[in-house]
């Protein structure tokens, strides 16, 4: 949950997401999008639309798509929840300031790499503030890899790139799951979700949904196949982002 309001955002940037400027908390679950292609990780059309700070739907789409990626990278780098939320907010503001001059040239500088650079700078800012205030560094998060715990004081190091790539991959999986969910029979996706995401056993899923064991098996494998195919497609798209 992130709060976007005039007291948090510079006045010039409140027009980016005015719906966030009423001092109310924002639910950051992905928004409903009728067109499944709107869930691609990065599209040239979206980048071009972001040049218009008054294009509220595009900026909301950007936020809904990337907030979890930015937040996750900040958490994995060793920041607190509040600091990670601040990094998300400051990164979006930084992107808004840079968009007029950003040149989308995937062969030279991908959007993925550029966004990582902006996020890295904001994370580094947070660590500098800690040092200036003599705030102790946080302990590594439980899911942080051994390599990622070696250099938390230097988030500009190569370790952050590894963290970013891992979070980017998680983001792709989330997008793939959401796309398949919207294109699938709700009952079928519920069976898949209970077994694959919630970790319930096949018999428990059958009991909860009233489906037969063979139906649970068949449905799970069919949806899983769709998810894997969607992940591969999104990875191919992201490779050119």
Nearest Cα neighbor of 70 from 29, 109, 112 is 112
The pLDDT of residue 64 is 81
Contact (Cβ atoms closer than 8 angstroms) between residue 213 and residue 201: no
Average model confidence (pLDDT) for the chain? 74
Helix, strand, coil % over all residues of the chain, rounded to 5: 65, 0, 30
Instruction: Please tell me the distance from the alpha carbon of residue 214 to that of residue 237, in angstroms, as a whole number.
Output: 35
Higher pLDDT, 225 or 170: 225
Nearest Cα neighbor of 161 from 131, 126, 117 is 117
The pLDDT of residue 160 is 77
| Structure token digits, residue 61 | 């789409």
Instruction: Please tell me the distance from the alpha carbon of residue 171 to that of residue 168, in angstroms, as a whole number.
Output: 5
Q: How many helices (H) and strands (E) does the chain have?
A: 8, 2
Contact (Cβ atoms closer than 8 angstroms) between residue 91 and residue 118: yes
Query: What is the mean predicted confidence (pLDDT) over 86-114?
Result: 83
3-state SS class at 79: coil
Query: What is the mean predicted confidence (pLDDT) over 107-115?
Result: 77
Name the strand (E) or helix (H) holding 3.
Answer: strand 2-3
State whether CATH 3.30.1050 applies to domain 184-241.
no
Against a cut of 0.85, is the pTM above it? no
pLDDT at 80 over 60: yes
Residue 54, judged by CB atoms within 10 A of its CB (0-12, 13-18, 19+), counts as exposed
What percentage of residues in the chain have a pLDDT greater than 70?
A: 68
- The Cβ-side half-sphere exposure at 207, using a 13 Å CA radius, reads 5
pLDDT at 155 over 90: no
The ranges of the chain annotated as CATH 1.10.10 are 184-241
The pLDDT of residue 164 is 86
The pLDDT of residue 93 is 92
């Amino acid at each position: 949950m992130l709060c976007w309001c005039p007291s948090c955002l510079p006045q010039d940037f409140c027009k980016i997401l005015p719906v966030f400027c009423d001092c109310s908390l924002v639910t950051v679950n992905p928004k409903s999008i009728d067109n499944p292609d709107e869930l691609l990780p990065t599209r040239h059309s979206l980048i071009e639309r972001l040049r218009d700070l008054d294009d509220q739907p595009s900026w909301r789409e950007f936020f809904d798509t990337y907030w979890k990626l930015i937040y996750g990278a900040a958490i994995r780098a060793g920041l607190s929840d509040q600091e990670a939320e601040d990094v998300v907010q400051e990164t979006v503001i930084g992107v808004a300031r840079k968009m007029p001059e950003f040149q989308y040239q995937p062969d030279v500088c991908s959007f993925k790499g550029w966004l990582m650079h902006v996020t890295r700078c904001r994370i580094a800012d947070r660590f500098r503030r800690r040092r200036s205030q003599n705030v102790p560094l946080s302990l590594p998060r439980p899911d942080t890899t051994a390599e990622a715990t070696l250099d938390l004081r230097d988030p500009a190091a190569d370790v952050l790139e590894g963290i970013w790539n891992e979070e980017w991959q998680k983001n792709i999986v989330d997008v793939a799951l959401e796309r398949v969910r919207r294109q699938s029979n709700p009952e079928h996706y519920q069976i898949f979700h209970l077994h694959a995401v919630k970790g319930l056993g096949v018999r428990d899923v059958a009991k909860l949904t009233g489906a037969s064991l063979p139906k649970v098996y068949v449905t799970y494998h069919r949806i899983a196949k769709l998810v894997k195919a969607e992940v591969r497609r999104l990875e191919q798209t992201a490779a050119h982002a």
